[in-house]
Amino acid sequence: MNPKRSLFFSSLVSPMGALLYLLLLSFFFVSSLVPTSQAVAPGTNANATRRRAPVHHDLSLDFYSKTCPQVDQIISSVTAARYRDSPTSGPATIRLFFHDCFVEGCDASILIAPTPGSTNKVEREMEENKNLAAEAFDTVNMAKAAVENKCPGVVSCADVLAIAARDFVHLAGGPYYTVKKGRKDSKASLPKKL
């Protein structure tokens, strides 16, 4: 067998190759969540043929430029340490971001913890989410605590999760991309929408 070819195939089954494969799949899925225009047949009511998207405010690259300009660096310091000390936190956080964005958008609703003694389930307790790794939740909690230490009450958990996922993609050898910020945290978890 060709040595170059065997090196390629061995990299696919290595842990790093598997991680990169997972990262690319996650990236393409999250990218597919961006709305595209839909054609409407002439003479039909566009509102009757399309679902209306919820009203959202615009995200921007400079959302925290005045209130927490170092947010990316703060989160990057946490993700770099986690990637070094607990490599599984990378794919776990990317997967957590994927699961968060799946229901009602990227709103950190997956992070809402169950209320002790309550019989109401939250998203993270549903069957589809039961095996989400604790390392992902730990990473987001650590990053959020670091951000709160410098900029209390400013940065949303949804933005922390989005930035952390981007950092792990980059740390694993994927592209570095800018993250638009300004996501609002959900006040409710919607497990029945899974």
Instruction: Give catalytic residues, as residue numbers.
Output: 99
Known binding residue 40? Answer is no
Paired residues of 60 in beta bridges:
181
Q: How many angstroms separate the CA atoms of 159 and 71, rounded? A: 10
103 is in an annotated binding site: yes
Is 135 a known ligand-binding residue? no
- Asked if residue 128 belongs to a known ligand binding site, the reply is no
Q: What are the distances in angstroms from CA 55 to CA 30, 35, 63, 192?
A: 19, 13, 18, 21
Indicate the annotated binding residues. 100, 103, 105, 107, 109, 123
Indicate the annotated binding residues for Ca(2+). 100, 103, 105, 107, 109, 123
